[in-house]
Amino acid sequence: MTNLLLIDAVQQALESALSRDERVILIGEDIGKLGGLFGATRGLLGRFGQTRVIDAPPGLGSMVGVSIGAALSGFRPVCEIPFADSIYPALNQVLNEAARIYFRSAGDWQVPLVLRVPYGGIAGGGLYHSQCVESLFTHTPGLKVVVPSNPYDAKGLLLTAIADPNPVVFLEPKRGYRLLKGDVPPIDYEVPLGHARISRRGYDLSLVAYGLMHEFALQAAQMAVAEGIEVEVIDLRTLCPLDLETILVSVNKTGKALIVHEDNLTGGFGAEIAALLAERAFQDLDAPVIRLGGPDVPAIPYSPDLFDWFMPGPDKILEAIRRLARY
């Protein structure tokens, strides 16, 4: 086992996938000599060459369209989107093409494409470098949506996504690239999609989170112990397909549910989980389902103070835990 940062685990997965399958290619802006904006592809150009690590010109719509074409031609492209905020010009290609080709061809055509998307708030990122976009993709059947919360899962989930025969949006919490650390085996392994993980056992309430918010949820749950509150923490890992069964079993035990994400509260993915709990676990609930997310403002502000105001963190999560536990 090696103790790695999240970004290093992503890099290790990409190197492994390139080594074991000649059909895997990387496509993105500045991913060659520069090694990507966050360093995920550093050193890969020198090892695998410019026909496997392909620097694309600016233009996300064209880049994703070319990646879809490569996937239809027998390759397994991994397309790096510089920031989640810059994916909008490619939405037609992702939502109208990649997500629907298998359906419209009655299964004759598949698109084994992975879109690596750095997402979420980061200090100084401001309007165009700190957005959360998961709800855009979880709303579209035909896409799998994955969000790792730690280096071990990042490597295993990415290797699974690259091997998947259909498109996967792989959301990477960029604030966690050099914040989240953990032990990662040097060997290849896969973490299956569609399986959530109980990362902390508890009996007073269930806390559902993903990405960086899962780490903050664990911190808040540990802080709550001093107040006599035992929180069960669920790391979703995959939003689509969603492991609803794990959530239902936990809520059946605790009777209370808190959902945390850093996306805007209204229309965020937490609303879908809350609706499912209302439909499937109403009789198990001893309190209303609570959501904690970013406020409904157009973007994360540049100001450090306003950044802290926007972002959910351990202290805000702890306050929500207290409020739900008291109900």
Per the residue annotation, which of 129, 139, 195, 214 is the catalytic one?
129
What distances in angstroms separate CA 62 from CA 65, 70, 93, 270, one per listed residue?
A: 5, 12, 9, 32
| Token output for 297 | 């403002």
**Helix intervals (H) in the chain:** 6-20, 44-48, 60-72, 91, 101-104, 134-138, 151-163, 212-225, 244-254, 269-280, 304-310, 314-326
- 244-254 and 269-280 helices, crossing angle to 10°: 60
CA-based radius of gyration for the chain = 19
CA atoms of 182 and 38, how far apart (whole Å)? 19
**DSSP 3-state helix, strand, coil percentages of the chain (rounded to 5)?**
40, 20, 40
For β-strands 24-28 and 53-55, DSSP reports them as parallel
Whether the upstream peptide bond of residue 312 has omega within 30° of 0, thus cis, is no
- 314-326 and 212-225 helices, crossing angle to 10°: 60
- For residues 259 and 292, the answer to whether their CB atoms sit within 8 Å is yes
- For residues 176 and 211, the answer to whether their CB atoms sit within 8 Å is yes
The label of the residue with tokens 């091997």 reads 163
- For residues 250 and 258, the answer to whether their CB atoms sit within 8 Å is no
CA atoms of 41 and 32, how far apart (whole Å)? 7
Which DSSP state fits 125? -
Whether 139 is a known active-site residue: answer no
Please give the single-letter amino acid code of residue 217: A
Active site (catalytic) residues: 129
